[in-house]
Amino acid sequence: MFLQANISCFQSDFCTRTGEIKTVALSDGSTVTLSSQTAINVAYNEHLRQVRLLRGEAYFEVQPNPDHPFIVEGNYSRTKVVGTRFIVREDNNFDTVTVNQGIVEVGRNNIKPYVLRVNDQLSIGEANSNGLRHVSAATEGAWTKGHLVFENACLDVVINEIERYSKGVIVIKNSRLKSVKVSGRFDISTPNKALEALEQTLPIKLYRLTPWLTVIA
């Protein structure tokens, strides 16, 4: 994870380290907010507005310009908008797009584009898409305000999110615990406190073997 993040930073125009959130202002007034361990390249000229998401997750607030659509290229997707707010995330061999405001067109070379509206979410992988879902865009984008919010999420999903903001690895030793349901709101600036809160409310135990390795059993 650490090596991948640093390689992406080396190759990118803008990037964030573990636990860092950064907002980048683009030349047309649009902004991109980068989550932890995220890297992007930007290609702007008089004819083109394009961002390449190399790694991680980013929240886009796009200034309207019907003559020059704003394009985000992911590993598996191409997102096209005129002016709107949306999130693109690269994770687990999928690109996931969530719409916060406006209308977004998402596709790739070998599939017909999907048209997404507010609170729509779509994941596209190398072979296929896994369907259009209706979600809470505010919850999905809570990280932009410094929080992670979960409602009836599996523990392994929650830990995966917390780990993105932690300087270390978190392992769930007992596979049966992965499906334990979690609801809550956590501050991403203090991932250790988030883990402690989970330990206090769930049938789990934390073992901090080193500063860089935590085991949950």
Q: Per-domain residue ranges for the chain?
A: 2-139, 146-216
Q: Which fold has domain 146-216?
A: Phage tail protein beta-alpha-beta fold (3.55.50)
C-alpha 116/C-alpha 86 separation (Å) is 10
Is 2-139 a domain of CATH 3.40.50.9100?
no
Q: Is the pLDDT of residue 146 over 90?
A: yes
Give the pLDDT of residue 111.
74
169-172 and 213-216 beta bridge pairing: parallel
- pTM, to two decimals: 0.91
C-alpha 30/C-alpha 75 separation (Å) is 22
126-151 average pLDDT score = 90
Higher per-residue pLDDT: 57 or 91: 57
Confidence class for position 46, pLDDT limits 50, 70, 90: confident
C-alpha 81/C-alpha 130 separation (Å) is 21
Q: Is the pLDDT of residue 30 over 60?
A: yes
Q: Is the pLDDT of residue 2 over 50?
A: no
- Read off the pLDDT of residues 76-95 as tens digits, 9 standing for 90 and up: 999 999 889 999 999 878 99
202-212 average pLDDT score = 95
C-alpha 74/C-alpha 54 separation (Å) is 7
159-173 average pLDDT score = 95
Token pair 């090596």 is at which residue?
3
* Cβ neighbours of residue 67 closer than 8 Å, sequence gap 6 or more: none
Structure tokens at 208: 């901090």
